[in-house]
Structure 1
C-alpha cells in the first residue's frame, strides 16, 4: 500500500467517526446509525494493519452499542483484531460468536468445503455468495498466522 492510499483510508476513518459523532448530537446523545456506518471502520483499520486502532474502535463500539451483536464479517474482523493484539481468550470467544453468526465463514476464509454440512439455499449465508463477499482469505500474508 502506498502512503497516499494509507492516507485516504485514514481520512475515510476520520470522516466516518465525524458522521457518527454528528449522528449522536443530532439525536440527543443516542445513535441512529441506520446507514450502518459503525460497521465500516474495522475493515479499514485491518487494511492499514492498525490492529491497536481497530481494538480501540471495538472497545468504543462495545461501550456505545452494547445491544448490537454485529453481523458475521464484523465479528470475524473483531476476532482477527483480538488475535493480532494477543488477546487469545477473547479471540476464542469472539470466534465462537462469529461461528454462531455464520457457520460457513471460517470455511470460506480457509478456502475449504464445509465439513459435514450440506449447503442449502436457506443456509445462513453460504457458499459462492459468502466467498464473493468475504474480503479476507488464508492466502493473505498478513493473516497467515491467524489462518494457522
Structure 2
C-alpha cells in the first residue's frame, strides 16, 4: 500500500468519525441511517491497524449496544478480535457472523454456495448476496486468520451449534403455530448468544 493510499484510508476513517460526532451534537444521539458506523472496520483491516480497529469497535459497542450489525461487519469484527489475540471473543463473533449469514464462510473459503431450504430474512441466499464481500481465505495477510477460522468451524462445538441453528430455521420455514415459532426463535437467539 502506498503512503497516499494509507493517507486516504486514514482520512476516510477520520471523516466518518467527524460525521458521526456531528450527528450526535445535532440530534443528541446517533441517527446513522446511512450506515456510516459500519465502514471504518474495513479501512482498519486494509491498514492492518487492528489495535485501532479494536478501539473503534469498543466505541461502537458502547454507542450502539443493540446494533446487531451486518454479516460483513461482523466478519470484520471477528478478524479484528482474532488479530488482537482474542480468540475466544473472535469465536463468539464468528458464530454471530454465521447466524447473520450462513453462507458467508463458504464465500470466504471459495466453496460452492448451496442454498439451504430454510426460512431466510437477512440471511440472503440469492446469487450476488455477497457482492461487496471482498475477503478471501487465500489473502496472504489473512492466512493465520483463515487457518484459525477453518479449524473453528470444523470443531465439534461449532458444527453442532450451526446444525441446530439451521434446523431451527428449516422448521421456521413451514411452522405456522405462533407459540411454536416464538419458541423456535427463542432457541435460535440462545444459540446466537451462546447461552
Which has the greater radius of gyration?
2
Match of 2:99 in 1: 100
Aligned equivalents of 1:141, 1:126: Cα separation in 2 = 28
**Residues 74-98 of structure 1, C-alpha deviation per residue, up to 9 Å, x if partnerless?**
0000000001111010000000100
Q: Does 1:66 align with 2:65?
A: yes
Secondary structure at the counterpart of residue 59 of structure 2? helix
**Residues 65-124 of structure 1, C-alpha deviation per residue, up to 9 Å, x if partnerless?**
00101010000000000011110100000001000100000110011125xx5356x852
Correspondences of 1:41-52 after superposition (within 5 Å):
41-52=40-51
Deviates more, 1:69-78 or 1:130-139: 130-139
Aligned equivalents of 1:33, 1:109: Cα separation in 2 = 28
CA RMSD across the alignment? 1.7
Match of 2:12 in 1: 12
Q: Is residue 108–residue 130 contact of structure 1 (8 Å, CA) maintained in 2? A: no
What stretches of structure 1 of length at least 5 have no aligned partner? Answer: none
Correspondences of 1:32-47 after superposition (within 5 Å):
32-47=31-46
Aligned equivalents of 2:106, 2:139: Cα separation in 1 = 15
Aligned equivalents of 1:80, 1:127: Cα separation in 2 = 25
Match of 1:129 in 2: 128
Q: How far off its partner does 1:139 sit?
A: 1.4
Aligned equivalents of 2:4, 2:133: Cα separation in 1 = 25
Correspondences of 1:79-118 after superposition (within 5 Å):
79-114=78-113, 118=115
Q: How far off its partner does 1:142 sit?
A: 0.5
TM-score (norm 2): 0.70
Q: Which aligned runs of 4 or more in structure 1 are off by greater than 3 angstroms?
A: 117-120
Q: How many residue pairs were aligned? A: 145
Q: How far off its partner does 1:127 sit?
A: 6.0
Aligned equivalents of 1:12, 1:95: Cα separation in 2 = 26
Q: How far off its partner does 1:126 sit?
A: 2.8
TM-score (norm 1): 0.91
Q: How far off its partner does 1:5 sit?
A: 0.5
Q: Is residue 119–residue 127 contact of structure 1 (8 Å, CA) maintained in 2? A: no
